[in-house]
Chains A and B, each alone.
Chain A
Amino acid sequence: EDQVTQSPEALRLQEGESSSLNCSYTVSGLRGLFWYRQDPGKGPEFLFTLYSAGEEKEKERLKATLTKKESFLHITAPKPEDSATYLCAVQTLNTGNQFYFGTGTSLTVIP
């Protein structure tokens, strides 16, 4: 059975304190791994897609990496506006075009 697990559930950082969020997956054939940001009361907003182990994507203070078992979302020198819930999702050979989501990491950046 395909599984997606995110850790930690919640993370509090001081402004400027870099850290990483984890998304581990156990799937039968990964087609794509997706990172989203979700602000309270809003829909998820797309950040990155990763397809192959070793792939990396960057956007401002965020960098996503992918291995054969997990993905990391690295946040460098975060600012309060980076506070949000970060979700990862997978598409697999079993699920085809469906996206299956982890439960997310709630990030709070304290000024």
Chain B
Amino acid sequence: NAGVTQTPKFRVLKTGQSMTLLCAQDMNHEYMYWYRQDPGMGLRLIHYSVGEGTTAKGEVPDGYNVSRLKKQNFLLGLESAAPSQTSVYFCASSLRGVRGGTEAFFGQGTRLTVV
């Protein structure tokens, strides 16, 4: 049982290049999330999905696109990378809670540097 797996773990991009980050979860969770983490800013939500085929914007969606074609996968795309997108990216997933929210499980992160 791998939990949440992110690929790649590290990447260096040149300004203007594109790339896709892949997140896969094997826990049959309905909800999936993409966060970025920057020093002093904490974790900020980029996009999220409440089920297969659905996506929604979070706090900082500009410059990113996402897709959830299969329940277990959530892809984060950068069409034209900018130095401001240098960050550590985390994917997470959670179940749909009955009483309230249920905890999110996180991947190990992708460290992206845009030069």
Query: Chain A interface (Cβ within 8 Å of chain B)?
Result: 31-32, 34, 36, 41-46, 49, 51, 87, 89, 91, 97-104
Contacts and interface: CB of A to CB of B under 8 A. Distances in A.
Contacts of B58: 98
Interface string B93-107: 010110111111111
Nearest to A101: B43
B48 interface: yes
Contacts of A44: 43, 90, 106
Nearest to B95: A97
A97 B103 contact: no
**What is the size category of the interface that chain B forms with chain A?**
20 to 34
Nearest to B4: A43
Given A42-B108, A43-B107, A44-B106, A32 B101 contact: yes
Contact of B41 (A45, A46, A98, A103): A103
A51 B99 contact: yes
A51 B45 contact: no
Contact of A87 (B42, B103, B105): B42
Contact of B90 (A32, A43, A102): A43
B48 A98 contact: yes
Contacts of B48: 97-98
